[in-house]
C-alpha cells in the first residue's frame, strides 16, 4: 500500500458524486480507515486554517464531502441556480416536514395532520427521492410507512434527523383525532 496524499483525498472528495464514508474513502485511497481519518482531519484543518481557500470538509448524510465555506455563500449563489425548497409546493413542504419530524408515518397520519388529501405531495416527494417507503404499520390494512431518505439529509445539509431545528411551540391537536400526538 502506498501512503495516500492529502491531495489524493481532496481530489476524491471533489469528484465524488455523493458524500463518502471513512470506509469508502479508505478503499478509494487504498489505505486503512484510521489512515483515511487522519488524512481527512489534516485536510479539514488545512482548509479551515487558510482564509484564501473557499472549501471545507463537510460531514453530511453519514459521510464526508467538500463544500464551500458558509461565509462565501453569497458569491456561490450569484453563479449557481440552487434548487432548495423553492421547487416544492407548500403541500409538499408540509408533508415533508411531517415525515421528517414524525416518520415513519402513514399516508392516513399525514392526511390527519394536514386535514387534506396528500397523494400528490407524497408522490412528488417519492419522485424526488426525498422520502421512501420503509415498511408497513402493524394496523388494520397494514398501511405503508414513509420516512426521509439520505438524499433528504444531503439536500438539507443534515447528518441525521436529530439536527432538524426544533419545532415552535404549538397548541395540542384535538384529542379526537386518531393520530393526535404532538409533533
**Could you tell me the residue ranges of all domains in the chain?**
6-79, 90-163
Give the chain's radius of gyration (CA, Å).
20
pLDDT of residue 168: 76
The residue that leads in pLDDT, 72 or 86, is 72
- Specify the pairing of strand 131-136 against strand 105-106: unpaired
- Flag whether pLDDT at 58 surpasses 50: yes
This prediction's pTM: 0.54
| C-alpha cell belonging to residue 26 | 479508505
- Select from 154, 165, 155, 151 the least CA-distant residue to 86: 155
Q: 90-163: which CATH architecture?
A: Orthogonal Bundle (1.10)
Query: Residue 35's closest CA among 8, 59, 3, 10?
Result: 3
Does this chain's domain 6-79 share its CATH topology with 90-163? yes
Instruction: Report, at the CATH architecture level, how domain 6-79 is classified.
Output: Orthogonal Bundle (1.10)
Confidence of residue 82 (pLDDT cuts 50, 70, 90): very low
CA distances for 29 relative to 8, 64, 111, 159, 182, angstroms: 7, 14, 48, 23, 47
Amino acid at each position: 500500500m502506498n501512503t495516500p496524499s492529502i491531495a489524493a483525498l481532496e481530489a476524491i472528495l471533489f469528484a465524488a458524486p455523493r458524500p463518502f464514508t471513512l470506509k469508502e474513502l479508505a478503499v478509494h485511497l487504498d489505505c486503512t480507515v484510521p489512515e483515511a481519518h487522519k488524512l481527512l482531519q489534516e485536510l479539514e484543518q488545512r482548509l479551515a486554517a487558510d482564509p484564501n481557500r473557499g472549501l471545507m470538509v463537510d460531514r453530511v448524510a453519514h459521510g464526508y464531502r467538500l463544500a464551500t465555506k458558509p461565509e462565501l455563500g453569497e458569491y456561490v449563489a450569484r453563479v449557481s441556480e440552487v434548487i432548495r425548497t423553492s421547487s416544492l409546493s407548500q403541500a409538499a413542504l408540509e408533508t415533508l416536514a411531517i415525515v421528517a419530524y414524525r416518520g415513519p408515518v402513514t399516508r392516513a397520519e399525514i392526511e390527519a395532520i394536514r386535514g387534506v388529501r396528500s397523494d400528490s405531495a407524497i408522490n412528488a416527494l417519492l419522485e424526488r427521492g426525498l422520502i421512501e417507503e420503509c415498511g408497513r404499520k402493524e394496523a388494520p390494512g397494514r398501511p405503508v410507512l414513509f420516512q426521509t431518505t439520505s438524499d433528504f439529509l444531503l439536500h438539507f445539509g443534515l447528518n441525521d434527523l436529530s439536527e432538524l431545528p426544533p419545532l415552535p411551540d404549538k397548541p395540542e391537536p384535538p384529542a379526537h383525532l386518531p393520530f393526535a400526538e404532538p409533533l
